[in-house]
Amino acid sequence: MSEKTPQTAGQGSSEKNAWVDTYNDMLQDKYKGDSFDEAEFGSANQSETADSQGFSEKNPWVDAYDDMLHDKYTSGSFDEAESGAPDVPETADSQKNLAAALYEAYASGDVGAVKKAKEALRSSVSAQVETPSSAAKPEAADSQGSSEKNTWVDDEQSQEPVIEPGATVSISGQEWTVGAVRENPRTGKVEFVAYHPDENDHGRNTRGMFSEDDLKVTKEPVSPEIGPAPAPTAEDYEAVGQTPPSAETSDSVGNEKNLAAALNEAYANGDVEAVKNIKEGLLQNRESEVLEDSLARVRKEYAAARVDVESHFFKKFFGGKDRQQRLDDLAEQMKGLELAVAKQKFASEIQQLKDRAGEDDEEAQQQQEALAGLMAAHVVENMQKTEQETADQFDTMLDERSKVHKIMAKAGRWFTKDGRMKQWLKLGGTGAVAGAVTKMVAGWPVTTAVGLAAGVGVGNAVKQSVLEERRGEQRLNIDASDAQLALQQEAKNANASDENEALGAMVEASVGLTKEESEKKQEELRKKVRGAMGKFALGFAAGGAAANLLQSTLFGAEHAPTAVASEGGSTPSPDVATPGSDATAGAELGRANPVDLVSGTEGLGSGGYEYPWDWASEMFGDADAAQRLHELGEAAQANGHNVEWISVGGTEMVTVDGIYDTQYVVDVLSQYVN
């Protein structure tokens, strides 16, 4: 045995590298004391780092070479050697021939031929092993990260990254500091925790778990907040105190191993097309892993933020808004990730629909809409699961922080769809009540959303409301008549025997106005209705504006300027309670200054607009208001004004020159109306 028998010392070299020992024995026997010094066979010495298991699986031709050498020097026969190992795959002919050529060169003692044959073989094997991390790569007995090299043909002078605590390694062009290191008992690969010096938004160093295979694989984060790709197994997460990824992620790890094995086979077979497809599959699998783990992280953060909000429910002035904002931001982030995951899950169906584009547009569109519904339902389902898991965790908390949550749960038992209140109603509870409570109850159940149909474009062609059809008509009249139509629709859906009764009950139940409140309030409420519809068109949540929807649509000034339902539910104006009387009453009013319509009204403030959107709605119509506002903002920007659009908790706000004031914004933007 050569003294320079390779650096597999301590790693079972004799066990793993029997063929090398045989090779060295051969050389000793043949060339004892002769001119071929071992430097010539340096590459052969390096080859002992190949793991025998890896070689037998991944490099059958090498095993064949080993067999050839063994047979040659045990049987004394050259026949088998010269004919090559019978089990070498047909498609590995080129490498088999190269191996045979190398053997011949050695046998002939031709140093130049040996060098050439080695070079040719090295190039061939290097091309074979240029694969994704886990595929077609002989494992290095040397655990110093020579993962992507078939080291027995590598250059003797190659540098290998050192993986040990405190070392610095390069991952995706960034320098990471190695923490804990271990060898995965299952795969035999070196895995390690590493830290990146950049701080994330939590004030901690970015941390991740990597494998030796990752040292040359790009691991770009999906977004700056998400961080590096995680370790591949649940065990490895637990090793650093992290929550193991979901079962789906574990399955994707198994899938990656299968893909890696398939890739190895494709290389062995020389199937270029299969190699390409499998590589793409591996890439998608890795992207899916990153998404899934990012989603798991955000879910955890959302749960923590929700607990935080509920624990400080009434502390609105002590960080309450920030907590709620963080919760809202995380909810949006979670929705986005859920949708991205759903998109991946349905990727093949989406692609099929795209491939069919042009064949039958209408049917394809319907199928797209159906698929979108499925994806959105999938997202909602997962988000509800997260909410439920959060609630379950909260239930385990026994201290006072959970008081609000506990009372919410009790309230939920009363006021949910099938809660105790409904059961009481079913038992004839209404017979026992009187006064205002009767009116409150009479408005139940609520079965639909009011006034939203026109505001949000829904892909499956929800019927456009009259607002859209009557665009350009007198604003005030349109609002009133369309509100009536919306109410009529709502009343049809309501569980009321008499449409008038339902409307009347809704009026009285929705009243928040007292006799003391002026008609000015009615007009402001109507403007909020238009504001709410515009916001819905931009995808905003209804929020507080919708809360006033009922009052304002019912108490629009053009119908009943003096009809203010008092607290306690006085009889509403006949105009309001009889939706059959149509918009003609409103039409008679014609276009008028909103102020004039309301008697006894104080000034409505600057221009009477609460939001810039209200002004734009007056000028351009509800459907175009948002777009025209943006266009005017751009025109103002081009003329030297500083126009900013700010999204806050799902609501978009505009400032001009840093000023929020509606009048100022309107004054500036109106200058650019053509």
CA-wise closest residue to 598 among 524, 546, 504, 512: 524
SS3 letters across 226-279: CCCCCCCCHHHHHHCCCCCCCHHHHHHHHHHHHHHHHHHHHHHHCCHHHHHHHH
Give the nearer residue to other proteins in terms of CB position, either 4 or 385.
Answer: 385
Does 546 interact with other proteins (rule: CB under 8 A)? yes
Q: Cβ distance 7 to 15 under 8 Å?
A: no
Give the nearer residue to other proteins in terms of CB position, either 350 or 589.
Answer: 350
Buried b (16+ CB within 10 A) or exposed e, 233-253: bbebbeeeebebbeeebbebb
Give the nearer residue to other proteins in terms of CB position, either 39 or 648.
Answer: 648
Nearest-10 Cα torsion for 631, 632, 637, 638:
80
Query: Judged by CB under 8 A, which of 190, 305, 452, 598 binds other proteins?
Result: 452
Determine the interface stretch with other proteins among 15-23, 238-246, 468-476, 543-551 (rule: CB under 8 A). 543-551
Does 321 interact with other proteins (rule: CB under 8 A)? no
Does 420 interact with other proteins (rule: CB under 8 A)? yes
Does 424 interact with other proteins (rule: CB under 8 A)? yes
Does 397 interact with other proteins (rule: CB under 8 A)? no
Q: Cβ distance 219 to 172 under 8 Å?
A: yes
Give the nearer residue to other proteins in terms of CB position, either 539 or 574.
Answer: 539
Does 447 interact with other proteins (rule: CB under 8 A)? yes
Query: Judged by CB under 8 A, which of 109, 165, 254, 539 binds other proteins?
Result: 539
Does 443 interact with other proteins (rule: CB under 8 A)? yes
Region at 539 (left for phi over 0; alpha for psi -120 to 50; beta for the rest):
left
Does 547 interact with other proteins (rule: CB under 8 A)? yes
Tell me if residue 290 falls in helix, strand or coil: helix
Token pair in block for residue 32:
């004892």
The interface mask with other proteins, positions 475-504, x = CB under 8 A, is ------------------x-x---------
Q: Residue 456 phi/psi, 5° resolution?
A: -120, 125
Q: Using CA atoms, how far apart are residues 456 and 467, in angstroms rounded to an integer?
A: 12
Give the nearer residue to other proteins in terms of CB position, either 458 or 638.
Answer: 458
Query: Judged by CB under 8 A, which of 217, 261, 274, 350 binds other proteins?
Result: 350
Q: Using CA atoms, how far apart are residues 392 and 285, in angstroms rounded to an integer?
A: 32
- From residue 660, how far is each of 286, 627, 654 by CA, in Å? 46, 19, 7
Give the distance from CA 327 to its chain's centroid.
Answer: 16
Sign, CA dihedral 518-522-527-529, equals: positive
Determine the interface stretch with other proteins among 43-51, 79-87, 283-291, 416-424 (rule: CB under 8 A). 416-424
- Which residues in 98-137 contact other proteins (CB under 8 A)? none
Give the nearer residue to other proteins in terms of CB position, either 440 or 619.
Answer: 440
Binding residue count for other proteins, defined by CB under 8 A: 82
Query: Judged by CB under 8 A, which of 197, 543, 590, 605 binds other proteins?
Result: 543
Give the nearer residue to other proteins in terms of CB position, either 74 or 348.
Answer: 348
Does 371 interact with other proteins (rule: CB under 8 A)? yes
Determine the interface stretch with other proteins among 15-23, 183-191, 280-288, 413-421 (rule: CB under 8 A). 413-421
Give the nearer residue to other proteins in terms of CB position, either 253 or 541.
Answer: 541
Q: Give the shortest CB-574-to-other proteins separation in angstroms.
A: 22
Query: Judged by CB under 8 A, which of 458, 638, 659, 673 binds other proteins?
Result: 458
Does 509 interact with other proteins (rule: CB under 8 A)? yes
Query: Judged by CB under 8 A, which of 193, 268, 450, 503 binds other proteins?
Result: 450
Q: Give the shortest CB-120-to-other proteins separation in angstroms.
A: 48
Query: Judged by CB under 8 A, which of 158, 352, 448, 606 binds other proteins?
Result: 448
Does 565 interact with other proteins (rule: CB under 8 A)? no
Q: Residue 197 phi/psi, 5° resolution?
A: -65, -20
Q: Give the shortest CB-300-to-other proteins separation in angstroms.
A: 20
Determine the interface stretch with other proteins among 160-168, 215-223, 362-370, 580-588 (rule: CB under 8 A). 362-370
CA-wise closest residue to 145 among 170, 162, 125: 162
Q: Give the shortest CB-440-to-other proteins separation in angstroms.
A: 6
Q: Using CA atoms, how far apart are residues 111 and 226, in angstroms rounded to an integer?
A: 55
Does 312 interact with other proteins (rule: CB under 8 A)? no
Per-position DSSP letters for 177-245, written without gaps between them: EEEEEEE-TTT--EEEEEEEEEE-TTSSEEEEEEEGGGGGS----SSTTT-S---SSHHHHHHTTPPPP
Token pair in block for residue 553:
């649509």
Q: Which residues lie closer than 8 Å to 597 by C-beta, 6 or more apart?
A: 476, 523, 557, 558, 561, 589
Residue in the structure block whose two tokens are 């004004």: 641
Q: Give the shortest CB-604-to-other proteins separation in angstroms.
A: 24
How wide is the angle at C-alpha 434 spanned by C-alphas 430 and 440, nearest 5°? 70
Token pair in block for residue 567:
């607290």
Count CA within 13 A, CB hemisphere, residue 334. Answer: 26
Does 506 interact with other proteins (rule: CB under 8 A)? yes
Give the nearer residue to other proteins in terms of CB position, either 32 or 317.
Answer: 317
Query: Judged by CB under 8 A, which of 113, 542, 619, 635 binds other proteins?
Result: 542
Token pair in block for residue 357:
């584009």
Does 356 interact with other proteins (rule: CB under 8 A)? no
Determine the interface stretch with other proteins among 234-242, 458-466, 574-582, 661-669 (rule: CB under 8 A). 458-466
Per-position DSSP letters for 551-609, written without gaps between them: HHHHS-TTT-TT--PPTTTPPPPHHHH-TTS-THHHHTT-S--HHHHSTTPPP-SGGG-
Give the nearer residue to other proteins in terms of CB position, either 506 or 666.
Answer: 506
- Which residues in 374-393 contact other proteins (CB under 8 A)? 374-377, 379-381, 384, 387
Tell me if residue 644 falls in helix, strand or coil: strand
Q: Give the shortest CB-552-to-other proteins separation in angstroms.
A: 13
For helices 361-395 and 403-415, what crossing angle results, to 10°? 130
Determine the interface stretch with other proteins among 41-49, 192-200, 292-300, 337-345 (rule: CB under 8 A). 337-345
Give the nearer residue to other proteins in terms of CB position, either 403 or 471.
Answer: 403
Give the nearer residue to other proteins in terms of CB position, either 381 or 596.
Answer: 381
Q: Give the shortest CB-288-to-other proteins separation in angstroms.
A: 16
DSSP conformational letter for 639: T
- Does residue 228 have a cis bond before it (omega within 30 degrees)? no
Does 541 interact with other proteins (rule: CB under 8 A)? yes
Give the nearer residue to other proteins in terms of CB position, either 166 or 317.
Answer: 317
Give the nearer residue to other proteins in terms of CB position, either 241 or 431.
Answer: 431
